[in-house]
A and B are shown apart, each in its own frame.
Chain A
């Protein structure tokens, strides 16, 4: 009889035994790491001569904030925005400012409307994402250049249509995050 030892071990880890708990480091790091990976999007080697990709880092941040309120603190916009600014090509500080404001806005809406469904969350994202993108455009133009707001409209529409999928992806990450990987002794 063949012993599939690694598989057995994984199964053993994931089975719902009473001495299993999520790994704290993994559970805490997942939201931060996924948002940072979203910010690394410009490192993908497609050399675009026009802005084509939606701001994936911002979408992931909002999806984590709406799907799991309180998991990322209100001040998460500062470190995550700073990381985004390193790679986005925007003037440094633009994502720090805009992402912090977006997170505060989500918190205020959450306090005002505690009972929400996904349609409401999507509507909220549909207001916040275009405003943030427009803010980025204005800050980039202030640093030099005169790009027309027209060129980010396709990007905005793509971001809004992509948002439900991002939210599902974040929900999946949230399940993976809480897999019982740690054995309690």
Chain B
């Protein structure tokens, strides 16, 4: 392709100056970008207001599309449901029989649990969801994994609240705008969730790898006891995530832990539940906090 004639400044002083100041402005833009990025790396909340405004602005466009996605999803399920009805019926009957038997066992265990917990003086924290909302967008091209939630400060969402789907933990609220909020997904590389193995309570951390999996890092080093298929749930340490929320299933063993696939794929969860931060809820409900040597001093410091 021949170069276009209007790009040659020739002898025109005006054209020469325009080209020159264009370059200067481009260089200044790059320099400003460098300054801004350094500020936002050191201060992650930088420009959060602008991001909130931006997500509020596009939310009216993304809400109907999210709703249509859910409905079309339902339509496909109806069609496949008709096709697979007979075999599904037989399978469900079999599963129901199994489930009845296990329900009786579970009832007995729940009763035993209640008795043992009462014995230990532990409080039974019943899940109290704050609100149910839809995820209406996510960062698709960046390696940061964040999603936009269709609920904000007007619904009572505050920063730090855990977000889960029926299948498991999705993430936690990072920034809040009036009707939308930003959720840091558990697969983000900055997200670290304290977890334990479901059947024996082996403690570990689940750190996101930004590719749909999490890295399980064991706290106690030594022989790696993990096996593919181990299920991990939140342990509740740190007080943010309620204990027992499913996280992922071990998929590949590594030297210092394992890589787990997450259970709640946010692409499949139409609605998610925003919960109260677990420890805030428990401290709000219990009248007397557990006696610890530094508790009175902390209370005194806050009273001053």
- List residues of A whose CB falls within 8 A of some B CB: 40-56, 69-70, 73-75, 77-78, 81, 85-101, 103-104, 107, 110, 114-118, 136-137, 139-148, 151-152, 155
B140 touches A44 (CB 8 A): yes
For the complex, give the distance between the alpha carbons of A97 and B23 in Å.
14
Contact at B138–A47, with CB atoms within 8 Å?
Answer: yes
Considering only residues 27-53 of chain B, those with a C-beta below 8 Å from chain A are 27-30, 32-41, 44, 46-47, 50-51
Using Cβ atoms and an 8 Å threshold, which residues of chain B touch A139? 37, 41
A78 touches B29 (CB 8 A): yes
Chain B residues closer than 8 Å to A55, beta-carbon distance? 141
Given contacts A75-B25, A144-B44, contact A56 B211 (CB under 8 A): no
Are B210's CB and A151's CB within 8 A? yes
Does B137 interact with chain A (Cβ within 8 Å)?
yes
- Majority SS of interface residues in chain B? mixed
Q: How far is the CB of A54 from chain B (nearest CB, A)?
A: 6
Residue of A nearest to B28 (CB): A75
Residues in A whose Cβ lies below 8 Å from that of B41? 91, 139, 142-143
Residues in chain B near residue A91, CB distance under 8 A = 37, 40-41, 44, 46
In the complex, whether B80 has a CB less than 8 A from a CB of chain A is: no
Please, which residues of chain B bring their CB within 8 A of the CB of A41? 140-141
A88 to B267 alpha-carbon distance, docked (Å): 18
**Which residues from 69 to 96 on chain B have a C-beta closer than 8 Å to any C-beta of chain A?**
69
Instruction: Tell me the bound Cα distance from A42 to B138 in angstroms.
Output: 5
Residues of B within 8 A of A140 (CB): 142-144, 189
Nearest Cβ in chain B — how far from A69, in angstroms?
A: 6
What is the chain B residue whose CB lies nearest that of A116? B1
B197-212 Cβ-contact flags toward A at 8 Å (1 or 0): 0000000000011111
The reply on B240 being an interface residue by CB < 8 A is no
A51→B33 contact, CB < 8 A: no
Q: Which residues of B contact A (CB under 8 A)?
A: 1-4, 6-7, 22-23, 25-30, 32-41, 44, 46-47, 50-51, 54-55, 58, 61-62, 65-66, 69, 135-148, 185, 187-190, 208-212, 262, 265-267, 269
| B2: A residues at CB distance < 8 A | 114-115
Given the known inter-chain contacts A45-B62, A49-B187, please indicate yes or no for A147 contacting B147, CB distance below 8 A.
no
Q: A residues within 8 A CB of B210?
A: 50-51, 145, 147-148, 151
Minimum CB distance partner of B38 in chain A: A93
A142 to B190, CA, bound (A): 11
Which chain A residue shows the least CB distance to B19? A74
With contacts A42-B141, A89-B146, A143-B44 taken as known, whether A100 is within 8 angstroms of B30 at the C-beta atoms is yes
Q: When the two chains form the complex, which single residue of A75, A90, A92 contacts B29, counting CB atoms closer than 8 Å? A: A75
Knowing A53-B140, A55-B141, the reply to whether A77 touches B40 (Cβ < 8 A) is: no
Closest residue to B6 on the A side, CB-wise?
A70
Closest to B147 in A: A47
Determine whether the beta carbon of A49 is less than 8 Å from that of B29: no
Interface pair B33/A93, CB less than 8 Å apart: yes
User: A75 with B208: in contact, given A44-B140, A86-B51 (CB under 8 Å)?
Assistant: no
Residue in contact with A152 in the complex, picked from B33, B143, B265, CB distance below 8 Å: B143
Can you add 4 more A-B contacts, CB < 8 Å, to A46-B267, A53-B141? A51-B210, A75-B26, A78-B32, A97-B33
Q: Which residue of chain A has the shortest Cβ distance to B215 in the bound complex?
A: A146
Partner of A96, one of B7, B32, B140, B262: B32
Please indicate the chain B residues that have their CB under 8 angstroms from the CB of A148 in the complex. Answer: 209-211
Closest A residue, CB atoms, query B67: A45
Chain B residue contacts of A110, Cβ below 8 A: 3, 7
Residues of B within 8 A of A90 (CB): 142, 144
Give the 8 A-B residue pairs with the shortest CB-CB distance, closest first: A145-B189, A93-B36, A96-B33, A97-B33, A93-B37, A89-B139, A78-B29, A74-B26
Expressed in whole angstroms, the minimum distance between the Cβ of B21 and any Cβ of chain A is: 9
A102 to chain B, nearest CB (A): 10
Q: Given the complex of chains A and B, what is the CA–CA distance between A23 and B26 in angstroms?
A: 28
Q: How distant is B53 from chain A, measured CB to nearest CB, in Å?
A: 8
Sample of 9 A–B contacts (CB below 8 Å): A41-B141, A43-B62, A48-B139, A48-B266, A88-B144, A91-B37, A96-B37, A104-B26, A142-B41
Tell whether A77 pairs with B29 under 8 Å between CB atoms, given A43-B62, A45-B62: yes
B212–A81 touching, CB < 8 Å: no
